[in-house]
Structure 1
């Protein structure tokens, strides 16, 4: 074995091996970092309001003239939109077609105002709550409020009027008095805020409640929806943008701009991961080329060793150990770099979700170690195949 190591050192190129090590280190850092980022953002991706999930757009028609109500979507328009290839799913906003009055008492303050209720299919909600249900005969109406409503009160109204600011937890505990009136009927309920939405800018109640209450209190004819929500895989799709422009549909809020940002974020993430894999593959070929050049330079001497009784396994062993050492060394050097990068982005990722908990790094390191083992095994098989070829004079 010592004789083989001496032959190896005679023709070894430190520049080639250093180039492989650096390239492999860069590729390993990119791949492991991309994998860890994926694992760290998975809780956000799987959340109902994922910033990397499909995009949701709320569409409406523009009000062109006072007193002329042409903002409802017709059945033909809804069918045409739902059949478009860029629409994953579509839902309608169903409004309460009766008078709603809401009031609350807190800190000695009594407030009352007219409200509006709407509902959407549950799949379009960006929050989850086990209290989000209503059956005929219930006295409590679960409510989802837009988070920006509470922000407007806390930072726009309460701070200027000397009123106490309210946390989300406190608002969930405050009972609301709700009065529904219509068709000569009046009925009182208790409302309870069960969640806050970032996606939908309206006061939401369960769809089952809207349909039941409209049957009980509304005497207006049923009209088409004035707002709809669609789920699209790519909000930056040219077909989608062209369709909205041709039909003069308005996109409410900043969903369009945010969706484009999410699309480009996904594109950048996949591109970075692809670059890391490409660099790793290139480093793999550089190592194979370097080792094969060593074998080629030592062909005559290796053949002599095989002739005097050394087995192909003994001759190939030093080259296989060299491959293992370089791959394992690059992996071990990549670990502190990945941990440092993770410490830099982790605090920013946590801002995208409440009660965010990052994943551990154990699985990432295990996958990286398995990857090193896989690549080293391929190198070992290729080296052994080359040595066996010399032994068989192929």
Structure 2
């Protein structure tokens, strides 16, 4: 009865325009938030380095080969890079200053021994479980993170011996040994693989093992720092890239490509989120204005209903339930449109070689629910104020 009196004879042109604006705003908003999250997740997979984390080093040229220029970083250079505004965190990568070799220690694969290069990085830069990434003298084994290139080489070697290739999981169960040596001194330590990386070319070991080796098996030459681990602040990848070119520094190409992709896509989606938010806000204002206009035009009807004994709360609930249905239609249509758009966008990304998680992100759906809730609350107080002040 109340809804028929209040809503049946209203011009709904303004309402339809506001609903269309809200629908477009909601759809763009949920789509932008979803793909901003997925873009930031891109390239992570099982990689042990944290987000936006790069390894940088000096470019090698003819002068470096002739020892005219140095390829190591001084303390002054490290501090200068640390103070750049694009730098979130920066620490030197420690390298072994002792002789070390790795050999197989398992019947599953043929005997292989090779000199290796090991490094350690601050654990704040990695996603390695700290409980698995620790070592003290006397422990049963040294945990290591192995470059995938090494596993490929190992599988190539195994295939040449007629042995089936080794999977990641199997490699973690294969026994290895480190041999640390210096003139007149040698020591062997058992090794266990706890992860793999595409970003680091050396075998990663805990910093405590690196300190132990450098202290007990040192070479005559002093240790130098040739690589730095750096985390770039969100949105400042362009400045970081320009700095590398200006200072003749370099990073691994695939890391730069992924970083650039995240930076550009993140900026675009952030702009789209802002525009979508403004659209949703303006459309919401139009809906609120429509509700105010509806109450204003129906002052006589509302007054009559009140005099007939209808409670103000019942009239308010009728107005609120009407607009809740409007908001529900907008939200539902937006989520359906997002699901359809996502299906086609995901297919295009897969064709382009960009593999991302195909699931829905909870935050994008929550954004619609939050906007729905804010609209409903604002409309409730708007309806309450309009009804109660009706003379």
TM range (shorter): 0.7 to 0.9
**2:88 counterpart residue number:** 88
- Compute the RMSD of aligned alpha carbons: 3.9
Per-residue CA deviations over 1:88-145 (Å, capped at 9, x if unaligned) read 2222122222222222254462222221222222222343363322212335222211
8 Å CA contact 2:235, 2:267 repeated in 1: no
CA–CA distance in structure 2, aligned partners of residues 192 and 50 of structure 1: 16
Summarize the alignment of residues 34-183 of structure 1 with structure 2, pairs less than 5 Å apart: 49=47, 53-63=51-61, 64-68=63-67, 70-104=70-104, 105-107=106-108, 109-128=110-129, 130-138=131-139, 140-151=141-152, 153-154=154-155, 163-183=163-183
**2:184 counterpart residue number:** 184
Pair 159,29 (structure 1): closer, same or farther in 2 beyond 3 Å: farther
CA–CA distance in structure 2, aligned partners of residues 367 and 81 of structure 1: 38
Pair 266,138 (structure 1): closer, same or farther in 2 beyond 3 Å: same
CA–CA distance in structure 2, aligned partners of residues 317 and 309 of structure 1: 15
SS of 1:285's partner is helix
Pair 359,43 (structure 1): closer, same or farther in 2 beyond 3 Å: farther
**1:13 counterpart residue number:** 11
**Per-residue deviation, 1:33:** 5.0
8 Å CA contact 2:144, 2:203 repeated in 1: yes
CA–CA distance in structure 2, aligned partners of residues 366 and 233 of structure 1: 26
Summarize the alignment of residues 1-394 of structure 1 with structure 2, pairs less than 5 Å apart: 1-2=1-2, 5-6=4-5, 8-10=7-9, 12-32=10-30, 49=47, 53-63=51-61, 64-68=63-67, 70-104=70-104, 105-107=106-108, 109-128=110-129, 130-138=131-139, 140-151=141-152, 153-154=154-155, 163-234=163-234, 236-299=236-299, 302=302, 313=313, 316-338=316-338, 368-369=368-369, 371-391=371-391
Pair 152,253 (structure 1): closer, same or farther in 2 beyond 3 Å: farther
8 Å CA contact 1:147, 1:196 repeated in 2: yes
CA–CA distance in structure 1, aligned partners of residues 44 and 150 of structure 2: 26
Gaps of 5+ in 1: none
Pair 308,168 (structure 1): closer, same or farther in 2 beyond 3 Å: closer
CA–CA distance in structure 2, aligned partners of residues 344 and 52 of structure 1: 30
SS of 2:54's partner is strand
SS of 1:254's partner is helix
How many pairs align?
384
SS of 2:58's partner is strand
8 Å CA contact 2:135, 2:206 repeated in 1: yes
Per-residue CA deviations over 1:219-269 (Å, capped at 9, x if unaligned) read 323243111121121475454344333332222343223212111232233
CA–CA distance in structure 2, aligned partners of residues 100 and 142 of structure 1: 15
CA–CA distance in structure 2, aligned partners of residues 268 and 161 of structure 1: 51
Moved more, 67-76 or 225-234: 67-76
Moved more, 159-168 or 302-311: 302-311
CA–CA distance in structure 2, aligned partners of residues 170 and 381 of structure 1: 63
CA–CA distance in structure 1, aligned partners of residues 49 and 17 of structure 2: 39
SS of 1:110's partner is coil
Pair 6,87 (structure 1): closer, same or farther in 2 beyond 3 Å: closer
Moved more, 241-250 or 45-54: 45-54
TM-score (normalised: structure 2):
0.80
